[in-house]
Amino acid sequence: MKPNACQPMNLPSPEAGEWLKFARQRLHNIEDGGLAAQVILAHVLGKSREFVLAHPEYRLENDQQAQLERLLTRFEQGEPLAYLTGKREFFGLTFGVSPAVLIPRPETEILVEKALDWLKRHPQRRLAADVGTGSGCIAASLAYHVPDLRCVAVDRSWQAIQIARRNFERLGVLGRVFPLTTNLLDAVGGVFDLVCANLPYIPTAELARLAVSRFEPQLALDGGWSGLDWIAVLIKDSARWLAKGGLLLLEIESGQAEEVTQLAYQSLPAVKIEIIHDLHGLPRLVWLERTQ
């Protein structure tokens, strides 16, 4: 193909296949760089990944080339792909994301699976809360799969609640999921059958050393001095808002299971506790079922 006179310097010839080769080369040191290049190209063209692979001859407009270059550079600088494309798959659904919310993680799908199992076994228990909803991925996934569920989705971040609300609307669950900006369950009255919480759990001192804190929101990661500052308050108050026979499901860091267990025994009069491990065999979830 002949070079295009208007083509910006350093960019490959304006065909999709050529751009993919060029991008793959540039990203060869980055894990899954080739896949990222396909995702970026599909996003900019507004097509599927299958389409861009099947149509290497597809012509790129000048503005598309410029956008591709900007996104490629941001990806090279470490920005997560989900923030570049503005979306992430979670539990088979697509969620809009921005740097105001944590990018939903596969390990959190375990929490959703366990919650859905429990809801299936307790068809009379249909009032839920998702504390620290972020993109809304937990609340939306539960409501999507349980059509008679009603769920309050709270977050301290107003920006996160705006993202969550849009996701609830797009997934058709907004009438049954109620987004609200508040600290924990402070502004919410009532008693819940199921409370799910993926609150921040990284100790403040550790945070600066972690790559995740470069792009994802501090508010979503910083668990205070102990890492459990928010989780501890939630557990301590749980006797007030968790129904008898209700379930509190908490995502934690692997080293926190023992401390969370102790807190639960101190705070709930009668509780059945289970620690659930992730695919790497690490403690990832605490199951607290209030028996009385």
Ligand X SMILES: C[S@@+](CC[C@H](N)C(=O)[O-])C[C@H]1O[C@@H](n2cnc3c(N)ncnc32)[C@H](O)[C@@H]1O
- If one asks whether residue 254 binds ligand X (CB under 6 A), the answer comes out as no
Binding mask 54-93 for ligand X (x = CB under 6 A): ----------------------------------------
Total residues contacting ligand X by CB under 6 A comes to 24
The torsion defined by the Cα of 199, 189, 232 and 136, in degrees rounded to 10, comes to -10
Place of tokens 């208007």: 6
Burial class of 122 by CB neighbour count within 10 A (0 to 12, 13 to 18, 19+): middle
Stretch that binds ligand X, among 22-30, 62-70, 72-80, 192-200 (CB under 6 A): 192-200
Residues 89-118 that bind ligand X (CB under 6 A): 101-102, 104, 108
Q: Which of 116, 127, 219, 243 binds ligand X (CB under 6 A)?
A: 219
By beta-carbon proximity to ligand X, the closer residue of 212 and 239 is: 212
Taking the complex as a whole, how short is the minimal distance between the CB of residue 98 and ligand X, in angstroms? 12
Residues 120-149 that bind ligand X (CB under 6 A): 131-135, 137-138
- If one asks whether residue 250 binds ligand X (CB under 6 A), the answer comes out as no
Q: Which of 62, 94, 183, 291 binds ligand X (CB under 6 A)?
A: 183
95 φ, ψ (degrees, to nearest 5): -115, 135
Q: Which of 38, 65, 141, 157 binds ligand X (CB under 6 A)?
A: 157
Burial class of 258 by CB neighbour count within 10 A (0 to 12, 13 to 18, 19+): exposed
- In angstroms, the CA 270 to CA 63 distance is 62
Tell me which amino acid residue 16 is. A
Residue environment code for 73-87, b if the CB has 16+ CB neighbours within 10 A, otherwise e: ebbeeeebbbbbbeb
Q: Which of 140, 143, 220, 263 binds ligand X (CB under 6 A)?
A: 220
- Beta strand 150-155 pairing with 177-181: parallel
Is residue 168 within a helix (H) or strand (E), and if so which, with residue range?
helix 158-170
Q: Which of 144, 230, 241, 287 binds ligand X (CB under 6 A)?
A: 230
Contacts of 211 (CB under 8 A, 6+ apart): 78
Stretch that binds ligand X, among 15-23, 115-123, 197-205, 280-288 (CB under 6 A): 197-205
Q: Residue 242 forms beta bridges with which residues? A: 192
- If one asks whether residue 200 binds ligand X (CB under 6 A), the answer comes out as yes
Site residues, ligand X (CB under 6 A): 101-102, 104, 108, 131-135, 137-138, 154-157, 160, 183-184, 198-200, 219-220, 230
